[in-house]
Structure 1
Amino acid sequence: MVEARMIHRGTPRTRRQSGQAAVEAALTLPLVVFLVLGTLQLFMMLQARILAQVAAYRAVRAGSINHGNCLPMMHAALVTMLPTVARTDSSETLAAAFSPRRHNQFRVRSSYGRDFNEPLIEIVRESPDAGWAQELTGGEDLLFDQPTDNAAALRARTLEIRMVAWYYMRVPFANWVMSRMLLAHFRLRRYTAANPLMPVQRRSAWWGETSATLGRDGWPGGDLGTRMVRWSDQGHFVFPIQVNAAMRMMTPVMSEYFMGGPACNLHGS
């Protein structure tokens, strides 16, 4: 009888403890889920960063052996970045992934029902100078094979590019949280809504440092930050990975490939 009373008296306490555990689990579960999914998304972004560096090298090499032509550079970079958006583990899957994206367009639909049809990469040629290339006599660098110690001439015969690879974050929940963190970090949008990792915090006020920047402007598609905000509002969480590469020209510069200026057309022409 005594044992039964002790068990009976302990029941309300057990229920309170169970209720407290349920509340604690509800508060910490979003954080645990984000730690798992966020780690996965972060490693995928790091992989994309490595691929972007390789893509920039392959792009600048393709341009150096093709007179600075944008199209070979665009295709070389696209092929390298394809593993971030599709399977490329065989020649067949690589061809299937490249064919619909050969014009530098990536299509996907968000959970909001909004279509995303934007470039995967953008390339700007820092050197040789587009104005100099456009005024070449005969449309070609006729002194290409002449040895020189002139710094200006050496720079004119070095292909230097900067490239942005748009990485589309796909991991559910993690992409939504990380997108808002990145927008706040780069001071593109102050995030003052409820903290998704701590629902009881109604005004999280995420905001980046004044020194945070997305880098240089002048990209073919326009300002990076403006597009990040617009796409985020549409349910597309995309991050611009910016890389640079340079290589000595192995073929002479031809003016016909620089008539559009230093920036390559979004579709590679």
Structure 2
Amino acid sequence: MASSPFQRRRRESGQAAVEAALCLPLVVFLILGTLQLFMLLQARILAQVAVYRAVRAGSLNHANCKAMTHAAVVTMLPTVDATPTGAKLAEAFRERSDNRLRVRGSSGKLFSEGPMVEIVRESPDVGWVRGLAGGEDLLFDAPTDSAAELRRRTLEIRMVAWYYMRIPFADWVLNRMFLAHFKLKRYTAANPLMPAQKNAGGWDDGGVTLPSGGWPGGDLGDRMVQWSAQGHYLFPIQVHAAMRMMTPVKATYFQGGAACGLHSF
């Protein structure tokens, strides 16, 4: 028996509702995820600028950690606060001059325990700096062709800038993906399409290990997992820069070692 046009419209309407319910979460994630990824890309670009400004500040200030950290923090401020004017930038820096993020996530929770940047000086060598007569490189202006001497007069740093993801839903999903990619936490315990399949989030054939040695705040992966469990989703952006020293290095700025302390400001 043929159905009436009204009945056909009701069936089609119900089918459209089911299809929309199935597709809507994916569409929402695609929109929010794309936005979050572009913001992460912006943070990556700012981190590259920040490490350059940090190494330049260090080359002009005897490899002083405070000068380098402040230069990097100022550059990274647009990732955590609105800085459209000089006054807003100054206010944002005043709140984070101690190198603390202090940012509210998508859930409204205030995060303040993590640093904005962490800096490690790869060159000059700490042992050589501490052994300088008078605590300063007295031969800084002497011409030399020695590769070893040139390296000692080159400030080389590696830096991690912590980016806080704040786009709702996308921050959680991307964080779980990053944790699985770095072999820190399995994305899922079972395949949702095949419940009988175990360890669907395995990484035997993929993923990379997150380099984390020597950072001032400790292991990067451990902190990512710890903060994720608290509802804070952060991603460590690792960058590197080097520049010829413009001022002689001073041993007083290397008493704490190669890493720049997080609580010295």
**TM-score if structure 1 supplies the norm length?**
0.90
Q: CA deviation at 1:115?
A: 4.5
Q: CA deviation at 1:266?
A: 1.1
* Cross-structure match for 1:127: 123
* Cross-structure match for 1:177: 173
* Cross-structure match for 1:212: 208
SS at match of 1:67: coil
Q: Does 1:221 align with 2:217?
A: yes
**Matches of residues 58-69 of structure 1 in structure 2 within 5 Å?**
58-69=53-64
1:190 to 183, 186, 198: 186
* Cross-structure match for 1:117: 113
Distance between the aligned counterparts of 1:114 and 1:257, measured in 2? Answer: 33
Question: Given residue 34 of structure 2, which amino acid in structure 1 is its aligned partner?
Answer: T
Distance between the aligned counterparts of 1:193 and 1:28, measured in 2? Answer: 24
* Cross-structure match for 2:40: 45
Residues 13-22 or 137-146, more deviating: 13-22
SS at match of 1:164: strand
SS at match of 2:156: strand
Q: Does 1:230 align with 2:214?
A: no
Distance between the aligned counterparts of 1:207 and 1:157, measured in 2? Answer: 46
SS at match of 2:118: strand
1:54 to 39, 49, 52: 49
Distance between the aligned counterparts of 2:248 and 2:103, measured in 1? Answer: 39
Residues 147-156 or 161-170, more deviating: 147-156
Residues 207-216 or 142-151, more deviating: 207-216
**TM-score if structure 2 supplies the norm length?**
0.91
What is the alpha-carbon root mean square deviation over aligned residues?
2.2
Deviations along 1:203-246, one digit per CA (max 9) or x if unpaired, are: 89334454513224110001111100111111001000000000
Question: Given residue 239 of structure 1, which amino acid in structure 2 is its aligned partner?
Answer: F
Question: Given residue 36 of structure 1, which amino acid in structure 2 is its aligned partner?
Answer: I
- Uncovered stretches (5+) of structure 1, i.e. residues with no partner: none
Distance between the aligned counterparts of 2:247 and 2:14, measured in 1? Answer: 73
Q: Percent identity?
A: 66
Contact residue 227 and residue 233 of structure 2 kept, 8 A:
yes
Distance between the aligned counterparts of 1:115 and 1:63, measured in 2? Answer: 28
Question: Given residue 50 of structure 1, which amino acid in structure 2 is its aligned partner?
Answer: I
- Uncovered stretches (5+) of structure 2, i.e. residues with no partner: none
* Cross-structure match for 1:77: 72
Q: CA deviation at 1:106?
A: 1.5
Distance between the aligned counterparts of 2:78 and 2:158, measured in 1? Answer: 21
SS at match of 2:82: coil
Q: 1:133 to 1:191 in 2, by over 3 A?
A: same
Residue correspondences, number: 261
Q: Does 1:242 align with 2:238?
A: yes
SS at match of 1:117: coil
Q: 1:211 to 1:115 in 2, by over 3 A?
A: closer
SS at match of 1:118: coil
Q: Does 1:86 align with 2:42?
A: no
* Cross-structure match for 1:263: 259
SS at match of 1:187: coil
* Cross-structure match for 2:23: 28
Larger Rg: 1 or 2?
1
Contact residue 67 and residue 253 of structure 1 kept, 8 A:
yes
Deviations along 1:69-118, one digit per CA (max 9) or x if unpaired, are: 10000000000000000111111101110001001012245538574421
Q: 1:118 to 1:229 in 2, by over 3 A?
A: same
Contact residue 36 and residue 170 of structure 2 kept, 8 A:
yes
Contact residue 116 and residue 236 of structure 1 kept, 8 A:
no
Q: 1:189 to 1:70 in 2, by over 3 A?
A: same
